[in-house]
Every structure is written in structure tokens, then in C-alpha cells.
């Protein structure tokens, strides 16, 4: 098939067209499949997808969630499993089952658990994958998706999201490589630059700690790609302009809040410190006390460990 034939297919995706369910922002059509195709394009551009085999990976889910959250109203949720399964009806998307057994269609919207249980991944038409690998034809196909399925005022958000995804991936690689000057090109407070920094820093730190809280050790990821941990700066970026791993910690939401509030810190031997302020009468700190003096969970490579100079500053200024 030619690129024109795939442009036609992309402009005629089999999507829900209920005006009661979908607003003018998405041209009164379900945006799930366009978001999935845009996400695949981004991962190809980043070099994360190099072969015509698209796994329902956490990276793909995270990218799809980014598009969904950029466009859809707060509180409206969905799952990437839906377009990943149902795009088989569009003629260019071919699911690869885990076994030779016939897999019945799900009785309701498929979940990521069901999807991963029954399919190893999917492949596209070889010709289409070739067009997506080529930067020129990839952007032509991206444009038809954005122009067909999204209102004019929404289209810049999608181009910005693609820019942020690509830039944040490169930024995360620079964070891990320890490039000290990496923040300079994104130092101003333009919203897209802040998103690149935040997304890139989060990607790098959470990956280095393998989605595990440095203080309590918890690791929880949902099949939909959500994780309980966050990337925390030891010295705030507004003061340090430092996004290197030595100025970062991976923390669950409770430990992150406790660290920022000075209720927890890290000692000279990389042990967890718990402030006496936690013990005031009205507090019920639960398991926080049990973490005191435990060694923190650190990345395997010592060069990624939090820097003691940064930790010392946190102990002196924030911790009490």
C-alpha cells in the first residue's frame, strides 16, 4: 500500500461517534485509537520501538496516558487496552495471541490484565511500519490524525505533547549520563520546558530506583501503567537547577510529602531519619516509625546514589 492509502485509513478509523459521550474537542469521536497511534509514533521516534512488534508495554501505556490527560477533562478515565484490542478492525493492526487457541472477544471493555494474558503484542502492516519509521512520512501521518480527530484549538496541545515526549526521553538519557549542563537548554519557565524537565527527571529517577520507594521500599504498579512512586528533588530545582540523579530520590507519595515537610530525611550512612515532630500527640504516623534507621533503597550503581552534600543541606534546612 502507498502512504496515501494509509492516510485514507487513518482518516477513517472505526471509532465511537456518539455526541453524548464525546465533546467537540475530539470532534465528537472517541480519541483512543488516534492517541495509540500517536504514542506508537513517539516511541518509534525515540528509538524505543525499532521492530514491527508493538508490545503493550508500560512505556507505551505511559505515553498513551500522557495524551489522554493532555486533552480529556479531569475525572474522565479510560484504558489503552481498548484501542489496542479493537484497532484490529481497521485492517492494518494485527494482534499476536499468546497461544493457538481461539480467544473470544471480551464481554466488556478489555483490561490490560486481560490483554497481556491473551496477547504477546501486535504488528502493523510492514509497509505502514516502514512509513512510521521514516521521519517525513511519519509526520504526514501524524498530521492527518491530529487534523481529523481533534478540534483546531486542541491540535497545538497534541503537537506540544509529542515535543515533550521526545524531548523528555532525550532529557532522561542526559540525566542518567550525568550531563551537568543538561538543564540549561530547558532552564526558562516556559510551560513546555517545565514539562520536559519534570517528565524527563521522573522517567530517569523512577527507572533508576526500579519504581521502588527509597524509604519504605514499596513498589506498586497497576496494569494501566500507574505507579505509587514519584521523583523527588533533594534540593529544589528552583534553587539548584540540578536534575542529576545525585539530587534525586524515588519516593512514594507519603514519604515524598514527609521528606518535603522535613518529617523524614537521610543520614550520613544513608539511613532513614524520622523527625521528633512526627510524635506529636495528634499524629497517627502508622508505619513511619518502623522505617527509622533502616538503610534506604538505592540504585545499584553508586554513581546514581543521592549526594551527601545535598542530603546534608536537607538535614540542616528542612529536617528537625
Q: 144 and 9 in one domain?
A: yes
pLDDT in the model for residue 226: 85
d(CA 174, CA 200): 9
Q: 184 and 283 in one domain?
A: yes
Domain end (from 127, 153, 179): 153
Whole-model pTM? Answer: 0.87
pLDDT in the model for residue 107: 59
Other Cβ atoms less than 10 A from the Cβ of 27: the count is: 17
Q: In the chain, how many domains are there?
A: 2
d(CA 183, CA 50): 28
Q: Would residue 158 count as lying in a domain? A: no
Non-local CB neighbours of 271 within 8 Å, separated by 6+ positions: 293, 294, 295, 296
Q: 97 and 197 in one domain?
A: no
Q: 10 and 147 in one domain?
A: yes
pLDDT in the model for residue 104: 66
pLDDT in the model for residue 180: 65
Q: Would residue 159 count as lying in a domain? A: no
pLDDT in the model for residue 194: 87
pLDDT in the model for residue 250: 98
d(CA 233, CA 3): 45
d(CA 236, CA 204): 17
Helices and strands, number each (H, E), in the chain = 12, 6
Q: 192 and 129 in one domain?
A: no
Q: Would residue 307 count as lying in a domain? A: yes
Strands 272-274 and 264-266, by their bridges, are antiparallel
What angle, rounded to 10 degrees, do the helices at 191-208 and 155-177 form?
50
H helices of 119-190, in order, are: 126-133, 135-149, 155-177
pLDDT in the model for residue 55: 96
Contact 262, 232 (CB under 8 A): no
Which residues constitute the domain of residue 125? 3-153
Domain end (from 125, 153, 181): 153
Q: 121 and 10 in one domain?
A: yes
Q: 199 and 123 in one domain?
A: no
The owner of cell 540525566 is 175
Q: 230 and 99 in one domain?
A: no
Q: What are the contacts of 129-137 at 24+ separation with CB within 8 A?
A: 129/52, 131/3, 131/6, 132/40, 132/41, 132/44, 133/44, 135/45, 137/3
Q: 34 and 56 in one domain?
A: yes
Contact 204, 175 (CB under 8 A): yes
| Strand residue runs (E) in the chain | 93-97, 119-124, 229-233, 248-252, 264-266, 272-274
Q: In the Cβ-directed half-sphere of 77, how many Cα atoms lie within 13 Å?
A: 6
d(CA 167, CA 276): 42
d(CA 200, CA 185): 13
pLDDT in the model for residue 92: 98
Contact 218, 252 (CB under 8 A): yes
Write out the chain's pLDDT in tens, 320 residues: 899 999 999 999 999 999 999 999 999 999 999 999 999 999 999 999 999 999 999 999 999 999 999 999 988 989 999 999 999 999 999 999 987 666 666 656 788 999 998 999 999 999 999 999 999 999 999 999 999 999 999 999 999 999 999 999 999 998 888 876 665 666 666 778 889 999 999 999 999 999 999 999 999 988 877 899 999 999 999 898 899 999 999 999 999 999 999 999 999 999 999 998 888 878 888 889 899 999 999 999 999 999 999 999 999 999 97
Other Cβ atoms less than 10 A from the Cβ of 70: the count is: 15
Q: Would residue 240 count as lying in a domain? A: yes
Amino acid at each position: 500500500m502507498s502512504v496515501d492509502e494509509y492516510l485514507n485509513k487513518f482518516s477513517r478509523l472505526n471509532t465511537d461517534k456518539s455526541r453524548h459521550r464525546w465533546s467537540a474537542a475530539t470532534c465528537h469521536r472517541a480519541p483512543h485509537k488516534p492517541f495509540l497511534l500517536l504514542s506508537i509514533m513517539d516511541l518509534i521516534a525515540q528509538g524505543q520501538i525499532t521492530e514491527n512488534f508493538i508490545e503493550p508495554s508500560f512505556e507505551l501505556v505511559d505515553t498513551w496516558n500522557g495524551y489522554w490527560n493532555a486533552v480529556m477533562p479531569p475525572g474522565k478515565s479510560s484504558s489503552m487496552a481498548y484501542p489496542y484490542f479493537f484497532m484490529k478492525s481497521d485492517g492494518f493492526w494485527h494482534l499476536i495471541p499468546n497461544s493457538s487457541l481461539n480467544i473470544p472477544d471480551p464481554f466488556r471493555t478489555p483490561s490490560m490484565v486481560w490483554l497481556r494474558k491473551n496477547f504477546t503484542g501486535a504488528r502493523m502492516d510492514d509497509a505502514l511500519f516502514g512509513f512510521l519509521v521514516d521521519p517525513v512520512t511519519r509526520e504526514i501521518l501524524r498530521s492527518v490524525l491530529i487534523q481529523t480527530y481533534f478540534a483546531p484549538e486542541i491540535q497545538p496541545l497534541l503537537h506540544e505533547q509529542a515535543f515533550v515526549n521526545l524531548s523528555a526521553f532525550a532529557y532522561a538519557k542526559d540525566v542518567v549520563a550525568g550531563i551537568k549542563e543538561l538543564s540549561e537548554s530547558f532552564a526558562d519557565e516556559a510551560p513546555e520546558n517545565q514539562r520536559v524537565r519534570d517528565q524527563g527527571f521522573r522517567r530517569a529517577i523512577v527507572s533508576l530506583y526500579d519504581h521502588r520507594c527509597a524509604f519504605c521500599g514499596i513498589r506498586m504498579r497497576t496494569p494501566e501503567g500507574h505507579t505509587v512512586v514519584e521523583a523527588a528533588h533533594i534540593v529544589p530545582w528552583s534553587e539548584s537547577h540540578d536534575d542529576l540523579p545525585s539530587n534525586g530520590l524515588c519516593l512514594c507519595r507519603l514519604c515524598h510529602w514527609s521528606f518535603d515537610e522535613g518529617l523524614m530525611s537521610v543520614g550520613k550512612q544513608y539511613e532513614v531519619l524520622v523527625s521528633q515532630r512526627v510524635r506529636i500527640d495528634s499524629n497517627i504516623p502508622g508505619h513511619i516509625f518502623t522505617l527509622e534507621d533502616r538503610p534506604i533503597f538505592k540504585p545499584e550503581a553508586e554513581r546514581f546514589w543521592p549526594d551527601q552534600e545535598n542530603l546534608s543541606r536537607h538535614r540542616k534546612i528542612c529536617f528537625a
